[in-house]
Structure 1
Amino acid sequence: MLERTGDTELARLCRDTGAEDARKVDKAAWLGDHYVVCVDRSATGVIDAWSGKPLTLDELTGWDSYSIYTANGLLLPLLCGLDCPLDPQQLALDVTNAARETLGRYGCGHTSAEVDNVWSARTSGAIMWPVFWMPKSPATPTCTGTCK
């Protein structure tokens, strides 16, 4: 979009920053079969939203959980026709494993740490999974969307 305004330098900077950030996510958040919910697992300085008090844990509960939301941040770049910034095979594996690990009685929960926390209507995830990422099986994930 910035290129269309003629600001090619800022467009290049944003593209380069996005590519570098995607490499950081792939390196720091990938656990071998899924992307973690939170890379910074430390609970130091975190305030409980309900009580207003600091958490007493050393690590955030569920930081390494499976999550159905990994692909949500990719909706805008993919709709704009950009290539998938994350490794497509890893993303396909993540979606497959997250669906399996978060599946509860009434659908997929937000994370594997809270499978019973289900919202009845989710649009972005519901769009992303079948349209862009349709893995054949967890063993052989395949990206069928706009990937390199």
Structure 2
Amino acid sequence: MKKVILFILLVGCSCIYAQNKTGLTTDGPYLLYEETGVRYIQVDSTGYLLDTVYKVLPVDFSLKVTSETGNHAFQVKLRQAQRPSWKDKQPAKVFVISDPHGDMDCFVSILKGGKIIDDTYKWVFGNNHLVVIGDIFDRG
């Protein structure tokens, strides 16, 4: 009986360890502002992890953002954050959208359909506002 129990335990443990490891998928880019500089982390579409620390970011530094499937890619140039005053003039238009829950194709389609971005993912909504309701910016 002890041998049967031991056999079941060993087979069960080997099944746990026999699971396939999944490779890295497209993720990031992330910029982490640290005491030693700015750390840039990204996993590209081939699963390669890029982890670089810059003492100072180059003047023309931009981030390449790619969707998980690789269907969508665009550049984002960094700029100084602008804090609006607490009482701001209302824009002519406000476009409100909910959390896309990772469905980049749908998100892009809605933004293009609403004339927020063009086919090259460039902002074409003028000085109007885009409001995204959800937790997409703090949940990854």
TM-score (structure 2 length as normaliser) = 0.22
More helix, by proportion? 1
Greater RCO between the two (CA within 8 Å, min separation 6)? Answer: 1
TM-score (norm 1): 0.21
Please say which structure displays the higher CA radius of gyration. Answer: 2
Identify, as 1 or 2, the structure richer in strand. 2
